[in-house]
Amino acid sequence: MSREAGSPSGKDNMNSTLNNITKNEVPKSAYVLILLIYFISTVTLSGLSRNQGSIMFMGMNAPLSAFLGVFSSLGNILIMLIVVLFGKLGFITSLTILILQYPVILVNVFMRHSVTSISGLFSNTFTVVAVILIYTNNRKVRKYQERVSEQAVMDALTGIPNRFACNELMRDLVRRGSKFAVVSIDLNNFKSINDTMGNLVGDEVLKKVATRWKELADSGKAGTVDFIARLGGDEFALIIRGYGTDDSIVNTIKVYENTLKEKLTIDDCDYYLTACFGYAEFPTDDASEITLFSCADAAMHEIKRRGKANHILHFSPEFINKEKDLETERKIRTALENDTVFFNLQPQYDINHKLRGFEALARMKDSEGKIVSPCEFIPIAEKIGLVDQIDLSVFRKSAEFFAGVLKKTDADLTLSINISVKHLMKNNFLEEMKEIIDISGIPVKNLEVEITESIMVDSERAMYCIDEIKKMGIRVAIDDFGTGYSSLSYLNKIPADLLKIDKSFIDEMNSSDSSRQYVASIIQIGHILGLEVISEGVESPDQLDVLKEIGCDFIQGFIWGRPLASEDAEKLMLSA
Ligand code: C2E
Ligand code: MG
Ligand code: MG
């Protein structure tokens, strides 16, 4: 297997790569430049001290010796700058320069009896003290900085590089145009180890797997230059450089697969692990580090989908609707980076057409200013783990707006925000909510959180969060009711306030008696369970008449109001 010229070799590969990611060094050319300026200023200084002439300066006839102080201070500043910017090298250089100056100064003071050199003696001594102080203090700060940057690139559980380090390395390789392959790795059946043996054993498994792979990457035994990182859960990423053909990538992956397959013993129990390895190459599969990993991930998911024995697969465009999905992914990342995700507000009314409040709906524009539908970008954002940022951006902006307008009106209106289940399951979800509520000043009694029915996965974490939301005084709505695993026992378990009947049922409602009966039953059951009911997507007067008849409490639909820009929503709020 061939190795790329100039690429780091085996042993210190992982460490040197990490050092490259964390270090923030000033280029050596700056060092040479500062020394050059220092040299020029000292030559000028000695020239000035010998020259008795004068020049016109700001209308005065100034002796050249008046500029001695300027060049002497410049010299001292440069000396200290070298210590600050170049650490040990700067310290040794500065101290050497200062010590070498002593013989000249001492000869001038004691043998030539030059009075002007006395100030030089003091200035030199003070600079030596300053240089020593700056260096010792800087060393402490640097050590602390190194520790912090090390933590930023390390996965806390396994001690190997984390997602950030992996992204940084890929970004760097793409910038330099170096050929590399990225492998998305997912352990098979890891969840069952966690479920049956407990999380502590699961953590031990992850640590041991990470250690094995890190040792392998460090040893360079696979014949390529490898970098292994843990992305979270049982997901890892491997970056391979210094390979010749496509076969070399597969060979390297096989070495990692074989290392994984070796028996792993924890608390006298033996485990035999396997994983799926999907990979993609830069620049042939994708030319951006952001989407290249998604390609490798798509290949990994394709293996899982096929459920085949072959656990290594190269990315191919047919695995995803690549162009469209990647394009949407780029749009999402750009919108989040530029903070251009915005919101529309769709009014909700009671059955007598009295304004109840608004649902905040995420909106995003592409580079040509065209609106991208949330039906397109929310599922992709969920897939790539960015939906929480969209939820929070919409919540933050709409809550600030809503709180502002509420102060100008007596109307008691509700703001409903959509929260993705993926977001709800995140560890810091509750803290993030509280922070936005505090900053925006929106009263919790005017706030409602919409969660889709898929929450029925019955996760304890999700139920805990819903309980906490309720305890905070926020209302909870079950969105898109009827489209998921609707079950009565589940409805009973969730402490919701509002049931939102999905538009698909409203669309069908007038097509047959049974459809109408179905909607009527949902409303009745909702009422029995103490929930209010709102119908979504009401478009025609016929639908409205039926909903009035069967006792629906609230209406949201184009018939009474489309999603509005905030200025228009404000007018509606103030006239309520
Ligand atoms: P949803 O929460 O069920 O929102 C209602 C959707 O139905 C909105 O579409 C709204 O514009 C549309 N709609 C309401 N009345 C009518 C009607 O009479 N006719 C028709 N044809 N459509 C109507 P939108 O804005 O495209 O949002 C689609 C979905 O995207 C939302 O469904 C929600 O699941 C998701 N979404 C939107 N904003 C966010 C957000 O901030 N966070 C998350 N996680 N999801 C969001
Ligand atoms: Mg909704
Ligand atoms: Mg809905």
> Cα dist. 76→41, 67, 81, 568 in Å?
10, 15, 9, 63
Quote the tokens at residue 530.
């103490």
Q: Which atom from ligand 1 is nearest to the alpha carbon of 362?
A: 38
Please list the alpha-helical segments (H only) found in 510-552. Answer: 513-528, 541-549
Q: Indicate which residue's Cα is closest to atom 35 of ligand 1.
A: 374
Could you write out the DSSP letters of every residue in 470-520?
HHTT-EEEEEEETSS---HHHHHHS--SEEEE-HHHHHHTTT-HHHHHHHH
Provide the residue type at 415 as one letter.
L
315: left (phi over 0), alpha (psi -120 to 50) or beta: beta
Angle at 313 between CA 311 and CA 317, to 5 degrees: 145
CB atoms within 10 A of CB 324: 11
DSSP 318: G
Token look-up 């933050």 returns 396
Quote the tokens at residue 522.
């949902």
pLDDT at 483: 66
> Cα dist. 86→34, 92, 121, 149, 271 in Å?
11, 10, 25, 18, 50
The residues with which 536 forms a beta bridge, in sequence order, are: 556
- Cα 524 to ligand 3 centroid, rounded to whole Å: 19
pLDDT at 8: 44
pLDDT at 425: 83
DSSP 417: E
Length of the chain: 576
Q: Which atom from ligand 1 is nearest to the alpha carbon of 563?
A: 11
SS3 string of 427-470?
Answer: CCHHHHHHHHHHHHCCCHHHEEEEEEHHHHHCCHHHHHHHHHHH
Instruction: Return the percent helix, strand and coil in the chain, to nearest 5.
Output: 55, 20, 25
Token look-up 């991208």 returns 372
Q: Indicate which residue's Cα is closest to atom 20 of ligand 1.
A: 537
DSSP 169: H
Quote the tokens at residue 132.
């020593």
pLDDT at 458: 53
- Cα 297 to ligand 1 centroid, rounded to whole Å: 28
Answer for the pair 401, 380: CB distance below 8 angstroms, yes or no: no
- Cα 361 to ligand 1 centroid, rounded to whole Å: 6
Q: Indicate which residue's Cα is closest to atom 27 of ligand 1.
A: 374
CA distance 245 to 284: 13
Q: Which atom from ligand 1 is nearest to the alpha carbon of 363?
A: 38
Which domains, from first to last, does the chain contain? 25-153 (no CATH), 163-320 (3.30.70.270), 326-575 (3.20.20.450)
> Cα dist. 372→280, 336, 340, 377 in Å?
28, 14, 12, 7
CA distance 575 to 408: 11
Residues with CB under 6 A from ligand 1: 346, 361-362, 373-375, 378, 387, 390-391, 394, 418, 420, 450, 479-480, 503, 536-539, 556-558, 563
Mutate to test the pocket of ligand 1, among 344, 349, 377, 378 (most ligand atoms within 8 A of CB): 378
Q: Indicate which residue's Cα is closest to atom 4 of ligand 1.
A: 361
- Cα 418 to ligand 1 centroid, rounded to whole Å: 9
SS3 string of 22-35?
Answer: HCCCCCHHHHHHHH
Q: Indicate which residue's Cα is closest to atom 45 of ligand 1.
A: 418
* 3-state secondary structure at position 264: strand
pLDDT at 57: 67
Mutate to test the pocket of ligand 1, among 390, 415, 418 (most ligand atoms within 8 A of CB): 418
- Cα 500 to ligand 3 centroid, rounded to whole Å: 7
Sign of CA dihedral 220, 223, 225, 227: negative
Q: Indicate which residue's Cα is closest to atom 16 of ligand 1.
A: 537
pLDDT in tens for each of the 576 residues of the chain?
A: 333 433 444 444 566 677 766 666 677 788 888 888 888 877 777 777 666 667 666 777 777 666 777 777 888 888 888 888 888 888 898 889 888 888 888 888 888 777 767 877 888 888 889 989 988 888 888 887 777 777 778 888 999 999 889 998 999 999 999 999 999 999 988 888 887 788 899 999 999 999 999 999 999 999 999 999 999 889 999 999 999 888 899 999 999 999 999 998 988 888 889 899 999 999 999 888 878 998 999 899 888 877 656 789 999 888 877 667 888 999 999 999 999 999 999 999 999 999 999 999 999 998 888 889 998 899 889 888 899 999 999 999 999 999 999 999 999 999 999 999 888 888 899 999 999 999 999 999 999 999 986 655 556 788 889 999 999 999 999 998 876 555 566 777 788 999 999 898 899 899 888 889 989 999 999 999 999 999 999 999 999 999 999 999 999 999 999 999 999 999 999 998
458-464, long-range: CB < 8 A, 24+ apart: 458/490, 459/425, 461/425, 462/421, 462/424, 462/425, 463/493, 463/494
- Cα 293 to ligand 1 centroid, rounded to whole Å: 30
Q: Which atom from ligand 1 is nearest to the alpha carbon of 452?
A: 34
